[in-house]
Amino acid sequence: MKLATLANGRPDGRLVLVSPDGERYAGAEGIAPTLQDALERWDEVEPALRALAAELAAGGGTPLAGEALEAPLPRAWQWLDGSAFPNHGVLMQMAYNSPPIETDLPLMYQGMSHCFLAPTADVPVPDEAHGIDFEGEFGVITAAVPMGTSAEEAAGLIRLVVQINDWSLRTLAGPEMRTGFGWVQAKPACSVAPFAVTPDALGEGWSRGRVCLPLEVQWNEAPFGRARGDVMAVSFPELVAHAARTRALPAGTIIGSGTVANVEYRDVGSTCIAERRAIEMIEHGAPVTGFMRFGDRVRMEARGADGATVFGAIDQQVVKG
């Protein structure tokens, strides 16, 4: 199933189902008014949602043309972001001569969750000097997860898979990290692609608790990266279990993969500017690529083996806030 949220003037929007090709939709308000409500009552409403999805797959529904789509969850109870692609951290450590983080635990921080930007919304930033950067990620949305849930159990509590741009303000990130208290100002609202997809709908694109697809990134219409998601060192079920080790997670918790990064970066590129700058520092002694400026655009999209878009596209312009 593909689920989306139409803007209706309310904070949580209106839940709709979308055809597999992303071209048609059907309102699901008779089943659940919002995606958050559906997640909280998933076992109850899933059969009706799947029946509606089958009607769409058979050719029913209304053309999805010009409707304003929000992030699938315009706001959520919780947003936790991992760092499950080791090569990203290795490159950053090499570039800045910083020591590795000595831990066997998955890396994770908690970010703001009361607002997720729509996939085509302008992105307001106060100052270009803040080091405006995009970060392409995949993520999952969970059911309610009890405290102490194992990774094996967590696999059955992942309801939806999403595509995320975790915006970063790089010049603010370093000073905040050195405080030891984590990011606040360096992490504004994330953006999320329009379609949230059930894991089974990904077919071979979902395996071992990972999104086995490349994430295509364009910056000002120029190709920037095409790193794959299947090389996560820590799977999504493992990230969910880590987050739930000492606390329960509410239905609708969003957990991100961290920046998608591959060791073959010379061939596939990167999904964030900071990583490209780190590579330039390692190879040439200094960064060449600057961060984003007002008016710049970034587009992110994952495609299946058939070339069709899976989550829809994030396509946004940075503006002065």
**Which residue has 């983080």 as its token pair?**
101
When pLDDT is averaged across residues 127-131 and rounded to a whole number, the result is: 97
pLDDT of res. 162: 98
Is 95's pLDDT higher than 70?
Answer: no
Residue 281 has pLDDT above 70, yes or no: yes
The gap from C-alpha 48 to its chain's centroid, in whole angstroms, comes to 27
pLDDT of 89 > 90? The answer is no
pLDDT bucket at 177, cuts 50 / 70 / 90: confident
Quick check: 230 and 211 in contact, CB under 8 A?
A: yes
C-alpha distances out from residue 57 to 19, 61, 153, 226, Å: 6, 9, 30, 29
Is the pLDDT reported for residue 26 higher than 70?
Answer: yes
Q: Quote the percentage of the chain above a pLDDT of 70.
A: 99
Residue 52 near residue 17, CB atoms below 8 Å: yes
pLDDT at 97: 67
> Mean pLDDT, to the nearest integer, of 231-247?
97
Residue 101 has pLDDT above 80, yes or no: no
- Give the DSSP per-residue string, 85-104: -HHHHHHHHHHHTPPPP--S
Higher pLDDT, 229 or 90: 229
CATH class of 79-320: alpha beta
pLDDT tens digit sequence for 193-237: 999 999 999 999 999 999 999 999 999 999 999 999 999 999 999
In the chain, what percentage of residues exceed pLDDT 90?
87
Residue 266: exposed, middle, or buried by beta-carbon count in 10 A (0-12, 13-18, 19+)? exposed
Q: Name the burial class of residue 286, with classes exposed (0-12), middle (13-18) and buried (19+) by CB atoms within 10 angstroms of its CB.
A: exposed
Q: What is the pTM of this model?
A: 0.95
In this prediction, residue 249 carries a pLDDT of 98
DSSP assignment string, 121-148: S-EEES-GGGTEE-BEEEEEEE--B-TT
Q: What residue ranges do the domains of the chain occupy?
A: 2-63, 79-320
124 strand-pairing partners: 319
- For the chain, the average pLDDT equals 95
Q: How many CA atoms lie within 13 A of 87 on its CB side?
A: 20
Give the lowest-confidence range in 4-8, 74-78, 97-101: 97-101
